[in-house]
Amino acid sequence: MDTLGLARLQFAVTTSFHFLFVLLTLGLVTLVAVMQTRATLSANPVHARMTRFWGRLYVVNYALGIATGIVMEFQFGLNWSGLSHYAGDVFGAPLAVETLVAFFLESTFLGLWIFGWDRLNRWAHLALIWLVTLTAYASALWIMTANAFLQHPVGHEERDGVLRLVDFSALLSNPLFGMAVVHVVFAALTVGGVFVTGVSAFHFIRRTTEVEFFRRSLRLGVVVTALATPLVVGVGFAQFPIIGEFQPDKSEAAGAAGGAGLGFMILIGFLLLLASWITVPLLFRDWIVKLRFPLYLMVIGIPLPFIAAIGGWLFRELGRQPWLVYGLLRTEDAMSHATRDGMLFSFIAFTAVFAVLAVADWVLIARLAKRGPVEASVPVSPLVPAL
Amino acid sequence: MALLGLLTAGYFALAGFDYGVGLLYRFLGRDEAERARVLRAMTPFFLGNEVWLVAAVGVLFGAFPRLEGELLSEHRIAFVIVLVGLVLFTAAVQLRIGPFWDVFVVGGALVVAVGWGVLLADVLGGPPVLWAFGLVSLFLLHGAVFLAWRLDDRARVLVVARVLFAPVGLFVVAAVFLRGPVALPAVGLAGAVVALAGLAGAWFALRARAFRVAFLCTAVVCAVPALAVFGARGVVTPGVMSHTPTLQALGWVAAVVLPLVLVFQWATWRLSRAAR
């Protein structure tokens, strides 16, 4: 494979891994915020215990995801300096806002949320998790703004061979932005819903004694999935006319891999939509638990929304080729001057590190999820002594 | 420009003691409980510290796109080393559930410190070995002073801190003499003077048992090398900056976000002091 191929593969691999972390972070934090709100309002201690258990899984995922995010940020400059040189003025603006608003602020809020457990006033602590949630969504918003610019560059003019920003608001009213960010947000909520449902189902399969705990969790998961899937599917299809207008050759450009990604995504979307709505009436009197076999399907279903999201993302990005900035900058022209060996070195280094991170994340989450809501005698990690 | 400088300085001043603690705790703590306690002095601030780097690179991209591309692709290998170390360290610190992970915590911190040293030497045209050695001892010193401030049994860590002053001071002096040709040598020289003054301040503050003052002094010393190197090279010029509309948009966001971050990070420090 040549240097360009390696650089593209490196970007695809690292971004896919990063996206897996982001989806669960975004979906799960929303559910944790809902749980903590109920914990603050209600006298029933089960909500506080739920917040702690699911919050712990969320923090582990966030902590490892942030490591992948740092690399993502550097990668633009390392491998694609042509992009920052040519379009940095415009593309860099939403990206910089994202790091400031989301990364910087979100981590600060989250640090205080983790550390403030049992130390802060409960209303202040509740406000913090909602601030974390809000900044997490702001992150998705600004990243998609930057991505929409690559798909359909707006708000700029070209002078002296580089792009200049002329209209910041045009970035936000980009037709390739609005629907897409809604789609991603509801996809993340689906991931969160399916994850909580699946883990709860696993505990019912093992005949947990924490019936109320996991009944409430399962219900929340199923309801969130049932509410999110119609929107994720609907908004997904609503994007086709927009793509048809601005990127008419997308399907051909995406090729076999992108096409397969799209197919899987649509299939999984409908499957989850159907499954969640069949499950909703079965929540009545725990029929779903008594039936048992749907519980197994719920556990098997955990990876599905992740696969769908990667598929959809592959379609969106491969369909942009051969352009990096659609119609303005070709991918091959944006690459840094790096030797093939240098590129191979960074590709192997990052892929290996990311794979280890992802596996560590899944193993740790699986272990914690399996252990259930027991009060830990030893802290999960030095970062989360309170959890 | 001030914003970028501030964020970079903030990163090195804050994350510097993360790496220092990461390098030290294995040797300071005699058993697992002690090690965990040493590490836990640092972890509440960990997330908040590391994201200064992310914010700095974000602003670098948005406000200095031409510099960002050149800088990162020119010094690819050094940046890849820093990043791999950073990822290992970040993950290992947070996952550390057993002694097995110590390899990655200590190793990751070492790789990050060496990586930054190599990078700065690369930019300045100085000897990489000197800079790698210099940044490792600087982060060690900063970490030791931080621990002296935050821990109750500080005798051992104070011994470590005192030993470290000499190598750091030697590094600062050597770095000035063994440098390549630079555009603005005066900036580099000023940096060295500030660094030595910070070191002297920290030394006397430690003797007077004013640990917080000592910590602030070593924080300044940590922030200096990166600022001095890039300042001396004169790489941050209007030519590599974005044009006015982009800068205005970013300026507004930073004006809102930065005070919020400062308030909330300060709250974290306050809270942990109350908890001690």
**Distance linking the first and last C-alpha atoms of chain A:** 46
User: Would an 8 Å CB–CB cutoff place B262 in contact with chain A?
Assistant: no
DSSP B98: S
Are residues A193 and A247 in contact, defined by beta-carbon separation less than 8 angstroms? no
pLDDT band at A132 (very low <50, low <70, confident <90, very high): very high
Q: Please give, rounded to a whole number of angstroms, the shortest distance from the CA of B197 to a CA of chain A.
A: 31
Here the tokens at position B193 are: 């003077």
Average pLDDT over residues A263-289: 80
Beta carbon pairs, A and B, within 8 Å: 236
User: HEC profile for chain A?
Assistant: CCHHHHHHHHHHHHHHHHHHHHHHHHHHHHHHHHHHHHHHHCCCHHHHHHHHHHHHHHHHHHHHHHHHHHHHHHHHHHHCHHHHHHHHHHHHHHHHHHHHHHHHHHHHHHHHHHHCCCCCCHHHHHHHHHHHHHHHHHHHHHHHHHHHHHHCCCCEEEECCEEEECCHHHHHCCCCCHHHHHHHHHHHHHHHHHHHHHHHHHHHHCCCCCHHHHHHHHHHHHHHHHHHHHHHHHHHHHHHHHHHHHCCCHHHHHHHHHHHHHHHHHHHHHHHHHHHHHHHHHCHHHHHHHHCHHHHHHHHCCCHHHHHHHHHHHHHHHCCCCEEECCCEEHHHHCCCCCHHHHHHHHHHHHHHHHHHHHHHHHHHHHHHHHCCCCCCCCCCCCCCCC
Is the ipTM above a cut-off of 0.90? no
Query: Which of B19-23, B39-43, B177-181 is the least confident region?
Result: B177-181
SS3 category, B115: helix
Q: What percentage of residues in chain A have a pLDDT greater than 90?
A: 12
Q: What percentage of residues in chain B have a pLDDT greater than 70?
A: 87
Q: Could you give the CA distance from residue B141 to residue B16 in angstroms, rounded to a whole number?
A: 9
Q: Residue B239: its pLDDT value, please?
A: 63
Q: Could you give the CA distance from residue B179 to residue B187 in angstroms, rounded to a whole number?
A: 13
pLDDT band at A109 (very low <50, low <70, confident <90, very high): confident
Q: Could you give the CA distance from residue A350 to residue B189 in angstroms, rounded to a whole number?
A: 37
Q: Could you give the CA distance from residue B90 to residue A383 in angstroms, rounded to a whole number?
A: 11
- Chain A residues inside the 8 Å CB shell of B63: 92, 96
Length of chain B: 276
Q: Residue A386: its pLDDT value, please?
A: 39
Domain ranges of chain B: 2-168+192-239
Amino acid residing at A375: E
Q: Please give, rounded to a whole number of angstroms, the shortest distance from the CA of B188 to a CA of chain A.
A: 26
Average pLDDT over residues B189-211: 79
Amino acid residing at B214: A
Q: Could you give the CA distance from residue A277 to residue A294 in angstroms, rounded to a whole number?
A: 13
CB-based contacts of A46, cutoff 8 Å, min separation 6: A212, A213, A216
DSSP B152: S
Q: Residue A387: its pLDDT value, please?
A: 42
Query: Which of A12-16, A165-169, A378-382, B104-108 is the least confident region?
Result: A378-382
SS3 category, B126: coil
Length of chain A: 387
A165 and B45 within 8 Å at the Cβ level: the answer is no
Supply the mean pLDDT for chain A.
82
DSSP B209: T
Average pLDDT over residues A366-372: 83
pLDDT band at A129 (very low <50, low <70, confident <90, very high): very high
User: HEC profile for B54-93?
Assistant: HHHHHHHHHHCHHHHHHHHHHCHHHHHHHHHHHHHHHHHH
Are residues A60 and B212 in contact, defined by beta-carbon separation less than 8 angstroms? no
DSSP B237: -
pLDDT digits (tens, 9 = 90+) for A314-331: 888 887 878 777 777 777
Here the tokens at position A25 are: 């972070």
Nearest to A381 by CA among B9, B98, B226, B135: B98
A100 and B268 within 8 Å at the Cβ level: the answer is no
Asked if the model's pLDDT at residue B124 lies above 90, the reply is: no
Q: Which residue has the higher pLDDT, A290 or A144?
A: A144
- Chain A residues inside the 8 Å CB shell of B90: 63, 66-67, 70
Average pLDDT over residues B143-156: 79
Of A84, A87, A108, the CB nearest to B261: A108
Q: Could you give the CA distance from residue A30 to residue A192 in angstroms, rounded to a whole number?
A: 8
- Chain B residues inside the 8 Å CB shell of A93: 62, 242, 246, 249-250
Nearest to B113 by CA among B90, B127, B129, B133: B133
- Assign domain B2-168+192-239 one CATH number from 1.20.1630, 1.10.10, 3.30.519, 3.90.580: 1.20.1630
B48 and A67 within 8 Å at the Cβ level: the answer is no
